[in-house]
Amino acid sequence: MRAVVLEQFDTPLVLSEIDEPVAGPGQVLVKVKASGVNPLDTKIRAGRAGHAKSRLPAVLGMDLAGVVEEAGAEVTGFTPGDEVYGLTGGVGDLQGSLAEYVAVDARLLAHKPRSLSMRQAAALPLVVITAWEGLVDRARVRAGQKVLIHGGAGGIGHVAVQIARARGAEVYATGSPRSLKSIEGLGATAIDHTTTSVDEYVARHTDGEGFDIVYDTVGGATLDASFAAVRTYTGHVLSALGWGSHSLAPLSFRGATYSGVFTLLPMLTGRGREHHGEILREAASLADSGALKPLLDTRHFTLATVPDAHAAVESGTARGKVVIDVEE
């Protein structure tokens, strides 16, 4: 089969012919239709993502949407012909989705939302699981809360906005001037972080009390800003990029709490994979109800032009999620 292979870190990806995988016990063989591209994919390729524990040579690509070709022994719930999606590989020793076929742990899969195309479905897994684990699993987002999403037009951010709104929260989101219209289109109150200080938007939108939940999808100084924007005592800060060193004093002086989200953990350890499938089933229901829809970059890339897709993500020129059409 055709696959895009990374032979060495920080070298060009190579379109190659490799052996087609076989579905083992507990696995499903999927014919890949589309593969989502995340910033993490480009960092893995460049050798700047040690936490992904990628082993070379590697087929990258974490997100997929496709069709079940074969279900291995001990698999229930999936049969040949089923349309599926999932966050299934591209890290550790798991084959990624930049290939015509992939054998994946069935626990990581769910049936594709009926209302979404293969391209749209492939854009969701990593970002929807990351958003859900923070907002729902850790913070228990609910009606009556004020939620602030940092980076509300980004990959995780635009999905987090939709999940929080679907669960009844009042949602605010920060962004750059060019992203404010997109944020407002998602139903959130947009905050221009380039012209508005933390103190200003906390005073304006919460009467100085702080937000019930603050989700940092940007990292760095934005996580420090999150500690200063959260509600005293009951507030909860979340971050999907809490890798650096930060002072906890602002958070501690508020008596608030913090949770880190590391979405790759089930893929790297084998523990908790069932929950990824559960989240994707919930997300499919949201999508089919009209409450969740990914923003896609309009350009079309194929296995032959994966380097161009990675360049679009790295350059910041993408407007929405970049998706590879694996089956041309």
In this predicted structure, the answer to whether residue 319 has a pLDDT above a threshold of 90 is no
Asked if residues 81 and 97 have their Cβ atoms less than 8 Å apart, the reply is no
* Sheet of strand 58-59: strand arrangement: 14-17, 2-6, 58-59
Task: For residue range 276-315, list pLDDT tens digits in order.
Answer: 999 999 999 999 999 999 999 999 999 999 999 999 999 9
| pLDDT of amino acid 167 | 98
| pLDDT of amino acid 110 | 98
Please give the Cα distance from 307 to 186 (Å, whole number): 30
pLDDT band at 179 (very low <50, low <70, confident <90, very high): very high
| pLDDT of amino acid 204 | 97
Please compute the mean of the pLDDT values over residues 257-271 and round it to a whole number: 97
Please compute the mean of the pLDDT values over residues 12-35 and round it to a whole number: 97
Segment (H or E) for 184? helix 180-185
Asked if residues 7 and 57 have their Cβ atoms less than 8 Å apart, the reply is yes
Please give the Cα distance from 280 to 266 (Å, whole number): 14
CB-based contacts of 279, cutoff 8 Å, min separation 6: 128, 129, 132, 133
Give the 3-state secondary structure of residue 42: helix
Sign of CA dihedral 303, 308, 311, 317: negative
The listed CATH number (3.40.50.720, 3.30.1280.10, 2.60.40.10, 3.20.20.330) that belongs to domain 127-260:
3.40.50.720
Nearest to 211 by CA among 141, 152, 268, 300: 141
Q: What percent of the chain has pLDDT over 90?
A: 97
Task: For residue range 122-174, list pLDDT tens digits in order.
Answer: 999 999 999 999 999 999 999 999 999 999 999 999 999 999 999 999 999 99
Please give the Cα distance from 281 to 266 (Å, whole number): 17
Give the 3-state secondary structure of residue 222: helix
Please give the Cα distance from 93 to 103 (Å, whole number): 12
Helix axes 125-132, 273-288, angle to 10 degrees: 100
Please give the Cα distance from 266 to 271 (Å, whole number): 5
Burial-class residue 319 by CB neighbours within 10 Å (0-12, 13-18, 19+): middle
Q: What DSSP state is assigned to residue 145? A: -
Task: For residue range 207-220, list pLDDT tens digits in order.
Answer: 999 999 999 999 99
Helix axes 198-206, 221-229, angle to 10 degrees: 30
In this predicted structure, the answer to whether residue 328 has a pLDDT above a threshold of 80 is no
Please compute the mean of the pLDDT values over residues 79-98 and round it to a whole number: 98
Domain coordinates of the chain in residue numbers? 2-124+267-325, 127-260
Please compute the mean of the pLDDT values over residues 87-100 and round it to a whole number: 97
pLDDT band at 327 (very low <50, low <70, confident <90, very high): confident
In this predicted structure, the answer to whether residue 317 has a pLDDT above a threshold of 90 is no
Question: In whole numbers, what is the pLDDT of the chain averaged over residues?
Answer: 97
Q: Which CATH architecture has domain 2-124+267-325?
A: Alpha-Beta Complex (3.90)
Please give the Cα distance from 298 to 143 (Å, whole number): 34
Please compute the mean of the pLDDT values over residues 235-256 and round it to a whole number: 95
In this predicted structure, the answer to whether residue 58 has a pLDDT above a threshold of 90 is yes
Q: Is the peptide bond before 39 cis (omega within 30 degrees of 0)?
A: no
